Each structure stands twice: as C-alpha cells, then as structure tokens.
Amino acid sequence: MLQYVDRRAGCVAAGMSARTPAVAVERGTTAEQRPVYARLEDLHDEVTNHQLQSPTLLIIGEVVALSTGWQAAVETGQSLVLPKHRTRGLALSSGDYLVHPASTVSEPAAIFER
C-alpha cells in the first residue's frame, strides 16, 4: 500500500502542488471503511500512522476539498474521519462524522476564486 502512497514525489515533479488535498480510503463502501485525509505531502505519514491496509483507494486533487469528510478534517484538524454510523456511542463532532486525533489538516487554497 505504501509504495503507491509514496509516489507523491512523482506527482510533485509532474507539477502537482505538495499542498494538494488527498484521501486514502481503506475498505471503501464497506462497514469497515476508513478514510484518511491529508495534503499530498503528508499522505504517506498519515497512512503509516493509521496503518491502512489494502484495498485502499487513493484520491488526489482539489475534488477532495469538496467532500464533507475533508471539511470535517479541516474544522477539527484531524485526518481520520469516520462516518457517524461507525461511532457506536462515541462523542461526535462535525455533523455526521466522528473525528479521530491525528495530524493537522488545513484549508486548501480557494479553488473557485479567480
């Protein structure tokens, strides 16, 4: 899994900003889904910290900043955001998401301003 996440250097070399929003979604569309939100430059470390395993889908680009999960991560400064249905009585924040402590995530550049 990490060999793919660590290709960020190639993305940056190809012109993508290291500050580009990204998400790694472990076991997507299942009850065990775990999304980890981070900037491209921090994605490898966050995936390592949360010990994500395959199958994991990587989404890299400004489209990630449009997700409610990214918004919850930005509001709380946490990278692992779990859907509310997975919380089982734990304290909630940011609407429909439980936020798990991790590295800081910050607001991306205004993508719609020109």
Measured distance CA(88)–CA(3) in Å, rounded: 33
The answer to whether 65 and 21 have CB atoms below 8 angstroms apart is: yes
Residue 95: CATH number of its domain:
3.30.950.10
| pLDDT tens digits along 32-59 | 889 999 999 998 889 989 999 989 999 9
Cis peptide before 55 (omega within 30 of 0): yes
Look at the chain and report how many structural domains it folds into: 1
Cβ-Cβ contacts under 8 Å for 106 (sequence gap 6 or more): 39, 74, 77
| pLDDT tens digits along 61-114 | 999 999 988 988 888 888 887 765 554 444 444 444 445 444 455 555 544 444
107 within domain boundaries: no
68 — phi, psi (to 5°)? -65, -25
109 within domain boundaries: no
> Token pair of 62, please?
């400004």
Place of tokens 């010990």: 51
The pTM is what? Answer: 0.69
Domain that holds residue 21: 2-100
6 within domain boundaries: yes
